[in-house]
Amino acid sequence: MKQVAGSLKLELAQYREVEAFAQFGSDLDASTQHTLNRGARLIELLKQKQYTPIPVEYQVVIVYAGMNGFLDKIAISDIFKFEETILTLLKSKYKDLSDEIKKSQKISPELDKKLKNFFSSEKFI
């Protein structure tokens, strides 16, 4: 989790700073808009249903998706549906990915490639 979410705190801090700044101005450049969009998705991504915690190996994959831009084109209102689809796929079709994360407790270059293939080959929304 540390490896995947290492820069999450920085991204969210930048988001909060830009969010406060954006309230005062309406003309935002592309970089600022990107920071706002990514931050809003990451905030939504971190929410979990009450009394139904998600196992860490699945959380790693979900945070990986957010930190690597796989959520950038998904509407904020569809983030929860995106997460549910990921969980369903990881529990059935891609069980080896979550098992490998749980066993090795790190993202190797090979696992990174597998995760990128997972997100590029499946349709989530």
- Mean pLDDT, residues 61-67 taken together: 94
Work out the angle between the directed axes of helices 109-121 and 95-104 (0-180°, nearest 10): 150
Q: Is the pLDDT of residue 2 over 80?
A: yes
Domain boundaries, the chain: 2-121
Residue 64: band (very low, low, confident or very high) from pLDDT cuts 50, 70, 90: very high
Q: What is the pLDDT of residue 6?
A: 83
Q: Mean per-residue pLDDT for 97-108?
A: 92
Spatial contact of 47 and 23, defined as CB atoms under 8 Å apart: no
Mean per-residue pLDDT over the chain, rounded: 90
Report whether pLDDT(79) > 90.
Answer: yes
Asked if residues 62 and 83 have their Cβ atoms less than 8 Å apart, the reply is yes
**Does the domain at residues 2-121 carry the CATH identifier 1.20.150.20?**
yes
Q: Are 57 and 101 in contact (CB under 8 A)?
A: yes
Task: Give the predicted TM-score (pTM) of the model.
Answer: 0.87
Cα(73)–Cα(54) distance, integer angstroms: 24
CA 118, CA 123: separation in Å to the nearest integer? 10
pLDDT of residue 26: 67
Opening angle at CA 39, ends 10 and 14, nearest 5: 35
- How far, CA to CA in Å, does 37 sit from each of 6, 19, 94, 109? 19, 10, 29, 28
Looking at the predicted structure, is the pLDDT value of residue 88 above 80? yes
Residue, of 20 and 42, whose pLDDT is higher = 42
